[in-house]
Amino acid sequence: MVKNGRVYTKEGLNSIDIWIKNGKFASFGGSHQAEEKIDAHGMLILPGSIDAHVHFRDPGPTFKEDWESGSVSAAAGGVTGVIDQPNTDPRTLDAKSFEIKLDRAKHRSVVDFCINGGPGNIDELVASGATAIGEIFSYEHSDAQLQKIFEEVRKAGKFPTIHGEDGEIINQELEAWKYLHDPGVYSKARPSRAEAVAIEKALIWSESLHICHLSTLQGLRLVKDAKKRGKKVTCEVSPHHLLFNVNDYQEQGSFLKINPPLRSPKDCSALWMGLREGSIDILASDHAPHLPEEKKDDIWEAPPGVPGVETLLPLMLMAVRRNLLSLERLVDAVSTKPASIFGLNSKGSIEAGKDADLIIVDTKRISQINADQLHSRADWTPYQGKEAIFPQVTLIRGQVVYDGDLEVRPGYGIFLG
Ligand SMILES: [Zn+2]
């Protein structure tokens, strides 16, 4: 039983007791016998978050992250389910590589998980339980290859998730900028136009699709127009594209090297607007950890990506407090909508019969983000010192997973294939 909290359900916020049985939400209110009680007096209770875009690096460069460190980081930030992306080593491209990752995740993850497959043997990946095919890095493929991949994904009854940046445009721009080393050149070498062109093509070539980490006003316009026409398209935005812009290279340099790159303040405003109005469907972290000694390199040498699974929800709870986003839209963007897009029917909301994944939040407890207190092996964060609201307790399937300490063994998380 979780008692005395203000619970976020489909009907809105309710002061109601939650009864959990066999890992599922059983009923609300009334009186029953409880073996275990959690008093959530004065707290907000939200459904667990689903981060649809993480790179846990496992198998592969596990010195940056592995299933255990990544998933503990997730749980500490209120993320109860993740979708891992296929660019590990080996890449998740067929039944064998899928099985290797699945085995590691099953033994190490503390949160529930999905695994995406890359554009390889798509039939094998789907049979193995891949959630979607992607993220497909559009700049790694020719137009003809992309069309072929989309067709195969469609035939297999799945949809692709796309990292939209056009390879031809990037390669041309790279020639013009590669001799300069001011970090800002990175955004010039990967212009907004590259995103717009890649999205435009994908919208034509794929019957249905999900666009990863949308970063530009132009890209957003294309998605909005396509939605108006009835196209089956959804998209996500990452906190780093909302909270940072090209001016932030000055302070953080190549640490803020990400793909797609930092954009203009105007793009940031457009993304906030898109998120608020729902034309951007979901929030996802694109958690892509690298070590500080790698990130401090020259802008062209440093690997792209920043850690973010643990700070995704805390930063956005803070955004709600600052009236940048409504609580309704936040819950929709981190729980309800990712569950529905990726077909996780047992997840995404607090209602009878669903998995009892919830977080308990004290909205008055504002803290400053400090890399020393985060759990990613990356050991740094671009959000150092920023204000955030971390959850007090994270439950997955009725079990307290994290409450300041890890309360389950690695391997508690189950595969949602
Ligand atoms: Zn990614």
Q: Per residue in 111-160, pLDDT tens?
A: 999 999 999 999 999 999 999 999 999 999 999 999 999 999 999 999 99
Distance 239 CA to ligand 1 centre (A): 13
Q: Which residues are within 8 A (CB) of 23 and not within 5 positions of it... i.e. 6 or more apart? A: 355, 356, 397, 398, 399
Q: Give the Cα separation of 72 and 77 in Å (integer).
A: 9
| Pick from 326, 330, 329, 348: nearest CA to 338 | 348
| Residue 36 amino acid letter | E
Distance 248 CA to ligand 1 centre (A): 21
Token pair, residue 28, equals: 């609300």
DSSP three-state, residue 68:
helix
| Pick from 213, 214, 210: nearest CA to 234 | 210
Q: What is the CA radius of gyration of the chain?
A: 20
Q: Cβ atoms within 10 A of the Cβ of 17, count?
A: 19
Strands 393-396 and 358-361: antiparallel
Give me the pLDDT at residue 332, please.
Answer: 98
Q: Is 204 exposed, middle or buried (0-12, 13-18, 19+ CB in 10 A)?
A: exposed
Ion ligand 1, residue ranges at CB < 5 A = 286
Distance 352 CA to ligand 1 centre (A): 33
| 355 belongs to the catalytic site | no
| Residue 279 amino acid letter | S
Token pair, residue 52, equals: 């649809």
- pLDDT exceeding 90 applies to what percent of the chain? 99
Q: Give the Cα separation of 217 and 199 in Å (integer).
A: 12
Distance 181 CA to ligand 1 centre (A): 24
Strands 49-54 and 79-84: parallel
| Pick from 147, 105, 152: nearest CA to 133 | 152
Cis amide bond preceding 90, omega within 30: yes
Q: Give the Cα separation of 343 and 417 in Å (integer).
A: 10
Give me the pLDDT at residue 131, please.
Answer: 98
Token pair, residue 219, equals: 């890209």
Give me the pLDDT at residue 417, please.
Answer: 86
Task: Write out the H or E segment, with its range, that includes residue 199.
Answer: helix 192-205
Give per-residue pLDDT as tens, 13-72. 999 999 999 999 999 999 999 999 999 999 999 999 999 999 999 999 999 999 999 999
Give me the pLDDT at residue 79, please.
Answer: 99
Strands 44-47 and 358-361: antiparallel
Give me the pLDDT at residue 137, please.
Answer: 97
DSSP three-state, residue 186:
helix
Mean pLDDT of the chain: 97
Give me the pLDDT at residue 200, please.
Answer: 98
Q: Give the Cα separation of 66 and 68 in Å (integer).
A: 5
Catalytic residue among 58, 84, 267, 286: 286
Buried b (16+ CB within 10 A) or exposed e, 342-375: bebeebbbbeeebbbbbbbbeeeeeeebebeebb
Give me the pLDDT at residue 306, please.
Answer: 98
Backbone torsions φ then ψ of 75, nearest 5 degrees: -60, -40
Distance 346 CA to ligand 1 centre (A): 25
| Residue 379 amino acid letter | D
Residues with pLDDT less than 70, the chain? none
Q: How far is it between the farthest Cα atoms of the chain?
A: 70
Distance 276 CA to ligand 1 centre (A): 23
